[in-house]
Structure 1
Amino acid sequence: MKNKIAIVTGTSSGFGLSTSIELARKGFTVVAAMRNINKKSDLLQEAKKYDVESKIVICELDVTNENSILAFHERVIATFGRVDVLVNNAGYAGAGFVEEISMDEYRQQFETNVFGVIAVTKAFLPVMRKQNHGCIINVSSISGRVAFPGLSPYIASKHAIEGWSESLRLEMQPFGVKVVLIEPGSYKTNIWSTGKQVAAKSLHSHSPYQNYMKKIEKYITEGENSFGDPLEVARKIAGIAGMETPDIRYPIGRGVKASIFLRDFLPWRLWEKIIITKLFQK
């Protein structure tokens, strides 16, 4: 992997931070992009721990801002002249019941999780196409395959990324550019921190959905002890980055493959009954 360049977005914490370290350990020079570079200390600390500081270049990038993307693109191309791997990881999870989520909140979710991914990818597609080489890894979620109540902004955004990635993979295959989806289940990241601001409306005492939202929150909270280590996902991403012919999808995490299998093969009425019973009828 010497002299190969990898871009990772959303690297101040979670999957992005761990993936940056793992790619650097594999020999990539990693352009670690984050919206607020004042939050770089955790990444630098981990880089020092594994003696890969020299392999990581931290850059500012707001995936929802066209000017920020342009400046980032110009810096990367001027400095390195190539991009071998792009990991689209930046994102957050919006929550709440549909009636109580504003259209602006839905748009904000899509600006980051969908349009941000598309915009950053479009910026670097020309260089990958001209190289006739590259790997784009989009961090999706089990939520891109299996819906869940109370999380519709996030789930809709991940379903969108799933379909978009399929189209992009078919378009870019003749040019030697690989497109891959990784679909994590529940891991110990801070992805829910922003979304809770939206969910607060459905947790308010005046909300007709309060009781149901509390049950969903309790279900998620009670499962936190079994959430996986983000390093597992990072290692999978780093492994995919080195593959010649990766598959399109990589589900990963406790119970993920079983959930996808059941969702795909059970009649909807039975699947619906299982979910409603598990969440609301305990």
Structure 2
Amino acid sequence: MLADKRNAALVTGAGSGFGLLTALLLAEKGWMVYAGLRDSSRSEGLVKEATARGIADQVVPLQLDVTDCGQIAQAVETIRQRQGRLDALVNNAGFAAGGFVEEVPLERWREQFETNVFGLVAMTQAVLPMMRAQRSGRIVLISSVSGRIGFPALAPYVASKHAVEGFGESLRLEVAGFGIGVSLIEAGPYRTEIWRKSIDSLQEPTAESAYRGYYVRLKPIFEHNAETGGDPSHVAASIWRAISDNKPKLRYQPTSSEKKTLRAKQWLPWGFIERMALKAMGVKKS
């Protein structure tokens, strides 16, 4: 079978949110998009939307759980056979685990890192041989402002995104000589399922918990952020820039909101940031 000559991208976590929007955007740009889905039943919504936009023939759903090495290998081999190359990998699959450090079971921490970190690493390792051989490619890592600044009650997610930031910096240096660009997308809260699910799964402290009061104060803030979060299409647009820019940057912030948050971390004294966070939690620091 002759290889398809169109540019090809693999987008993980393409069943909803950033991943779905990115898959559709890339297809509209003329790319062949391999849409990785942990839950294959989610392909119906993706295919329906792609059909409505007239791009169904450019979107190929793939069964892909990034914590399953067998599925990763099969997905990459499918792309190799059909395309003969891979021009972009968008490492988007992930979820947000919340709760207070003392009370989040260690198994939950492991689940968080298996998907957000080790799944991302495994996916990257699987595509690098093909990209090195063709001496080109883009690898986009969906990070977060949480990868640069910590937030209470989100430590598992924050820690995983800090790991992604460090991984991205190291990887970018290692593969630059092979013509491969690596970029981090530092997104804030957006109106996507990941934030809704994070709030719904936030481990609620018991009435006797020392953290109960903090939870009561913080949950409405998380709820507000989820309801008033940004338009996720801004993140898809940033991903496209990371893929299409002639000289891709290491970091992209989709909107001014993320830029302001990270500037605050860079320029404001940590003591000020800490006081604001503790005030939100109802803590009076002596």
TM-score by length of 1: 0.95
Out of 263, 266, 270, which is 1:264 matched to? 266
Between the aligned partners of 2:13 and 2:282, the Cα distance in structure 1 is 34
Between the aligned partners of 1:223 and 1:195, the Cα distance in structure 2 is 12
Determine whether 1:123 maps to 2:126.
yes
| Corresponding letter in the other structure for 2:213 | N
- 1:56-71 alignment runs, 5 A limit: 56-71=59-74
The residue number in structure 2 matching 1:176 is 179
Contact 1:182–1:251 under 8 Å retained in 2: yes
Structure 1 position 207, deviation (Å): 2.4
The residue number in structure 2 matching 1:246 is 248
Between the aligned partners of 1:254 and 1:225, the Cα distance in structure 2 is 18
Out of 42, 52, 56, which is 2:55 matched to? 52
The residue number in structure 2 matching 1:25 is 28
Paired residue secondary structure (1:54): helix
Contact 1:228–1:254 under 8 Å retained in 2: no
Q: Deviations over 1:191-248 (max 9, x none)?
A: 135544652343x323221221122110111233421111111122123211110110
The residue number in structure 1 matching 2:217 is 215
Paired residue secondary structure (2:203): helix
Between the aligned partners of 1:42 and 1:210, the Cα distance in structure 2 is 39
Between the aligned partners of 1:209 and 1:278, the Cα distance in structure 2 is 14
Paired residue secondary structure (1:15): helix
Out of 252, 255, 258, which is 2:257 matched to? 255
Contact 2:242–2:252 under 8 Å retained in 1: no
CA RMSD of aligned residues (A): 1.6
Out of 265, 272, 275, which is 1:273 matched to? 275
Paired residue secondary structure (1:246): coil
Paired residue secondary structure (1:180): strand
Percentage identity across paired residues of the two chains: 41
| Corresponding letter in the other structure for 2:60 | V
Between the aligned partners of 1:241 and 1:148, the Cα distance in structure 2 is 29
Q: Report which stretch shifted further, 240-249 or 163-172.
A: 240-249
Q: Report which stretch shifted further, 90-99 or 39-48.
A: 39-48
Paired residue secondary structure (2:221): helix
Contact 1:97–1:199 under 8 Å retained in 2: no
Paired residue secondary structure (2:238): helix
- 1:1-282 alignment runs, 5 A limit: 3-196=6-199, 199-202=202-205, 204-253=206-255, 255-280=257-282
Q: Deviations over 1:142-161 (max 9, x none)?
A: 10111100000000000000
Q: Report which stretch shifted further, 64-73 or 142-151.
A: 64-73
Between the aligned partners of 1:256 and 1:243, the Cα distance in structure 2 is 20
Q: Deviations over 1:249-279 (max 9, x none)?
A: 0112452111111111222112101221134
Quick one: structure 1 residues 198 and 227, their matched pair in 2 at CA, closer, same or farther if it must change by over 3 Å?
closer
Between the aligned partners of 1:18 and 1:122, the Cα distance in structure 2 is 25
| Corresponding letter in the other structure for 1:39 | R
Contact 1:201–1:207 under 8 Å retained in 2: no
Q: Deviations over 1:32-55 (max 9, x none)?
A: 001011111221122122111010
Between the aligned partners of 2:225 and 2:139, the Cα distance in structure 1 is 31
Contact 1:5–1:31 under 8 Å retained in 2: yes
| Corresponding letter in the other structure for 1:121 | T
Structure 1 position 281, deviation (Å): 5.7
Paired residue secondary structure (1:252): coil
Aligned residues: 280
Q: Deviations over 1:141-200 (max 9, x none)?
A: 110111100000000000000000000000011110000000111101111355446523
Paired residue secondary structure (1:11): coil
Unaligned runs of 5+ in 1: none
Q: Deviations over 1:60-117 (max 9, x none)?
A: 0010111121222222212211100000000000000000011111011000000000
